[in-house]
A and B are shown apart, each in its own frame.
Chain A
Amino acid sequence: MEIAPPLISQAAAPALIEVDGLTKLYGDFPAVTDLSFSVRPGEVIGLVGPNGAGKTTTLRCLAGIIPATRGSVRICGRDLAGQPIEAKRRLAFFSDEPRLFDYLTVDQHLNFTARIYGVANYREIARPLLEELEMADKTDKLPGELSRGMKQKLAIACGLLHSPEVIFFDEPLTGLDPIGIRRMKDSILKRGRAGAAILISSHLLHLLEEVCSHVLILKNGRKIIDGTLGEVRQRFSEQSGDSSLEEVFFRATGESKGSP
């Protein structure tokens, strides 16, 4: 799949996500060690690695949910530790399980989110967003009355309401049907083309191949490689640079394809 170029020039634009020496310890256990990378506007970076590689911990540190033990994270030039409110105002994080309030309807979720982020014209933004997500007729429903996919869409609508410049996805396709998967991919590409910096953690390598411009491979909390898909392929290809991301992943992580 061809990835359309972003609307703004990537090379000239400053990075929207700057991670420098990020380390996260759980007690003595290093979940992430000395991780550094940056993401510019329009770049969609795939975060891959085996189970326990530190992908979710990385995303949670970047979203300000858990504090980093060492290192710095800058979102749109704002230090996440020093200016957390300014940094968080510019990001959105979508976890693998949609996190919703059981007792708020779809409309109440949007109203609540608008007040938290101070989105004065939220109704004008929410209406086309709900229509795009095919939820316009479900505004008075509680999360308990929605399917898994619909809950995911509601979480996305809430997350996009304040037009974030930085977006983190943790396993965005979990529980979605084929139509939902198609729409989610389109939505990610659309945000990327609009200039958002996007970081996606997923085990679905074919998804990342379709939507990502860059890839970052983690193993045991450490970065093995990052770069454009082409660069990473080139580095880990045996003869030519046309290996699939799956083959690159197995070579880079030293995992065997036959292992369970």
Chain B
Amino acid sequence: MIAGALFYYQRHWWRNRLLTRIRRLRQPKYLFGAIVGGLYFYWYIFRALGRGGPGVRFSPEHQDLVQAIAAAGLFVAVLLAWILPQSRAALSFTEAEVAFLFPAPIGRKTLIHFKLLKSQTVILFSAIFMMLIGQSWGGGNPVIRTLGWWVVFATMNLHSIGCSFARTMLMDCGISNWLRRAFVLGTVGLMAAGIILWVRYTVPPPPHLIKGTTDSTWLWRYADEIAQSGPLPYVLFPFRLVVAPSFAANAGQFLIALGPALAVVGLLYWWVIRSNVAFEEASVELSRKTAERIAAVRSGNWQAARKPKKAGRSPFHLRPTGLPAVALFWKNLTSAGSMVRARVLVFLVWMVIFAGFGLHSQTKQAGGLGAGLAFLALVLAGLSLFWGPQMLRNDLRQDLLATDVLKMFPLPGWQVVLGEVLAPAAILAAVQWLLLLVALILFPDRFNDYSTTLGARISFALAAAIVLPCVDLIAMLIPNAAVLFFPAWFQLGKDGPRGFETTGQQLILMFGQLLVLALSLAPAAAAFIIVFLLTSHLLPSALSVLLGGAVAAVFLLIEAGIGIRLLGGVFERFDLSGEVLREG
């Protein structure tokens, strides 16, 4: 009876959800989004289905190695489930499910079964999605690939639940998170040390490690030998069973591989069902946090989805009097500060160093690691104009749900807009200045056949340092203008930001941003060229570049000023009753 009720709920949940999504296509904003999103998915993913793939695209001699790599990936995912989480067992339910199901006369096993059943839909969609991505790369049988991915995701899902139960039991026995992590890492470390020692004394290294030459055939053989002999195959054995169906070339191979994989799934299911762990209390808390996070994400405010755990330091002393827009700038800088964690900065530094090493090989002849890092810094500074406004959202996008509070402030609209866009623009400019400094310091005097003087490099860096903050201001104004003109595209309502239509909306916004930015930069670029051409005969070219940059910056500032004034007027006329308040 209860199973029937739960089936009924699931069936109608999906049906009503689908109907709602279809009905909202009557609104142009969703219809256009759906068309663009549909074309995008068709072009990149579904088109591959029609073409038909060539089957497994790895050559037979690499098949085993690729399978071993996939198994190793699964092993790492499983390992992380034992290392990273620190909370007690919690199954994720919606707040409504908690309110209706937890007080109902339903046993915990039924709740677990409901959770497992519910997750099947997501798992199946994920499997189909991965199959489609695989098809666009080249293939195989879609049914086999889908079922193969289903086995992998089902295994991970069951393992994640079982692992959370086991973690809770260990905590109840007084074994702390750190003790558990130390034990897991110690065990894995010992295993890794054993494998490394075995490799060192048993498998000869590839020639390039000895002679300094690169030979991919040797590398494949070397990796293959490590994966197929010695202790590693035993470590990866259960994981290979799980990934094996995904690599089957035909139905026969698939059925042979499916049996052992399902046995692993069955074993995990037995483990989950047999675990006697109370998950209800932690699940209630998780459902609340999830609901808050979803609400934040649906409002387009991804950063608010992570609530600050501790207060961010004030970026500067805010005097109680003065231009009120500075208060909004200060608020948004404080917000950005509370979201940045030390580990993020460490991660970024490591990324830059690794990328620099990567470029080192490309630019070895031209200037070594320094040149590599310099080029990387310049590339990142250029890309930041595109990704910066997408990533830094401490502006009206963050405050969209608090627009009623902003509207109450006794401020002219232009001050609200200025205050809102200043913080992300300032952060972006600071990052770009840092990148320019790195590039300036590390850029080689000579690159291939070209040589540059220190004076020229300084002049280019200074010109860029003057122009970039002005470009940032305009780049930040564009998404904020989109918020005011199309708030419903950011405030996506209760149905959630999913589906073709949302992807389409994001694509339209992204391309719109690029187009508007390009158009905005055109007058400044023209001014730069004219000033440079006029003065390059009279002044040293380094000075001409600097002068051109300064004039371009003035053009950009004028544009930004006009934009802020216009958007301020839009903000003053912005009628929340037609947008945010009614949808909220």
Contact = CB atoms under 8 A, between A and B. Distances in A.
A101 B314 CA distance: 14
B307 interface: yes
Interface in A174-192: none
Contact of A65 (B314, B330, B334, B576): B576
Given A88-B408, A89-B410, A115-B324, A102 B308 contact: yes
Contacts of B312: 103
Nearest to A161: B320
A228 interface: no
Contacts of A99: 402, 404-405
Interface string A96-114: 0001011111001001101
A116 interface: yes
A67 interface: yes
A101 B335 contact: yes
B239 to A, nearest CB: 40
Contacts of A116: 324, 327, 409-411
Nearest to A99: B405
A169 interface: no
Contact of A105 (B311, B326, B407, B581): B311
B331 interface: yes
B213 interface: no
Nearest to A25: B577
A5 B338 CA distance: 48
Interface residues of B, number: 38
B438 to A, nearest CB: 30
Contact of A142 (B311, B320, B326): B311
A120 B572 contact: no
A103 B308 contact: yes
A202 interface: no
Contacts of A63: 408
Contacts of A119: 320
A93 B410 CA distance: 12
A40 to B, nearest CB: 23
B408 A118 contact: no
A57 B405 CA distance: 15
Contacts of A26: 577-578, 582
A204 interface: no
B318 interface: yes
A104 B411 contact: no
A21 interface: no
Interface string B327-343: 10011001100110000
Contact of A112 (B308, B327, B577): B327
Contact of B335 (A65, A103, A122): A103
A88 B409 contact: yes
Interface in A118-165: 118-122, 140-142, 144
A188 B581 CA distance: 27
Given A66-B576, A103-B312, A142-B311, A115 B404 contact: no
A42 B405 CA distance: 26
A64 interface: yes
B304 A120 contact: no
A67 B572 CA distance: 9
B322 interface: yes
B404 A118 contact: no
Contact of B410 (A66, A85, A141): A85
Nearest to B326: A115
A117 interface: yes
B402 A115 contact: no
A122 B334 contact: no
B274 interface: no
B384 to A, nearest CB: 23
B330 A112 contact: yes
B575 interface: yes
A67 B573 CA distance: 8
Interface in B312-370: 312, 314, 318-322, 324, 326-327, 330-331, 334-335, 338-339
B309 to A, nearest CB: 8
A93 B324 contact: no
Contacts of A114: 320
A142 B410 contact: no
Interface string A79-90: 000001111110
The 10 closest A-B pairs by CB, nearest first: A115-B327, A88-B410, A114-B320, A89-B410, A66-B577, A103-B335, A103-B338, A105-B311, A85-B410, A65-B404
24 contacts: A60-B577, A64-B408, A65-B404, A65-B407, A66-B581, A84-B572, A88-B408, A88-B409, A101-B402, A103-B335, A104-B331, A104-B335, A112-B327, A112-B331, A115-B318, A115-B321, A115-B324, A116-B324, A116-B327, A116-B410, A116-B411, A120-B320, A140-B311, A142-B311
Given A66-B581, A67-B573, A117-B324, 11 more contacts: A26-B578, A26-B582, A60-B576, A64-B408, A65-B404, A112-B327, A115-B320, A115-B322, A120-B320, A120-B321, A142-B311
